[in-house]
Amino acid sequence: MSNRKIIFVAGAHGAGKGHLCSKLAPRLNAHHITASDLIRNRKTFGEAKAISGIDANQSILVEELKVFETTSSIVLLDGHCCLYNTAFEIEPLPLEVFRALNVVCVILLTCDPAEIMARLIKRDQKTSGFSLERVERLQSVEQTHAREVSEMLHIPLTKLDVTEEPTTDTLDALASDIKRMVG
């Protein structure tokens, strides 16, 4: 993984990780990639939000990020701190995954759960099995685990509410904060 700085952009399904990264990447001269895209390099999975083989997928993610080539010194890795397993139970990802990814900071996106539901329907043309209660619970566990990852790895955590479209000033300030955090 050389001298790349891995910024982990976390949030619930539909929170707006991809959208934020598309706005943030040019400000940082960063490369944006999703954890799912890296895993798909070796494994095919459907549209379901409940995931089988979570541990195996995370091993694939770590290995694929190691061989991922980019000229950018900053990588915005768009992913989750926890996932639904096939029993539709929330499963926090092991701390060792984040350590192995060499994450240098976490950007945690939060959003009004009703807005997340609207985004999921617009993006996926369905709720993907999510209810408002499931979105609220997933987002709560995602926030808790992101804080734990930050504390245990002694890396910065920045929380950003993206219920409304981030302003240019907000994006510029976040980019400045990230540049400061990664040195």
* Nearest residue to 166 via CA among 22, 8, 11: 22
Q: What is the pLDDT of residue 152?
A: 97
Residues of the domain holding 89: 5-177
Note whether residue 182 is domain-resident.
no
Q: What is the pLDDT of residue 124?
A: 77
- Give the CATH number of the domain where residue 134 resides: 3.40.50.300
Note whether residue 18 is domain-resident.
yes
Note whether residue 91 is domain-resident.
yes
Note whether residue 58 is domain-resident.
yes
Inter-residue contact 35 to 78 (CB < 8 Å): yes
Inter-residue contact 182 to 163 (CB < 8 Å): no
pLDDT tens per residue across all 183 residues of the chain: 468 999 999 999 899 999 999 999 999 999 999 999 999 888 665 555 556 567 788 889 999 999 999 999 999 999 999 998 888 889 999 999 999 999 999 999 999 999 999 998 888 776 567 788 989 999 999 999 999 999 999 999 999 999 999 999 999 999 999 999 887
Cβ neighbors of 157 (< 8 A, separation 6 or more) are 105, 106, 108, 146, 147, 149, 150
Give the residue ranges of DSSP H helices in 52-131.
Answer: 54-67, 95-100, 113-124
Domains identified in the chain, total number: 1
Inter-residue contact 93 to 85 (CB < 8 Å): no
Q: What is the pLDDT of residue 75?
A: 97
Note whether residue 88 is domain-resident.
yes
Note whether residue 92 is domain-resident.
yes
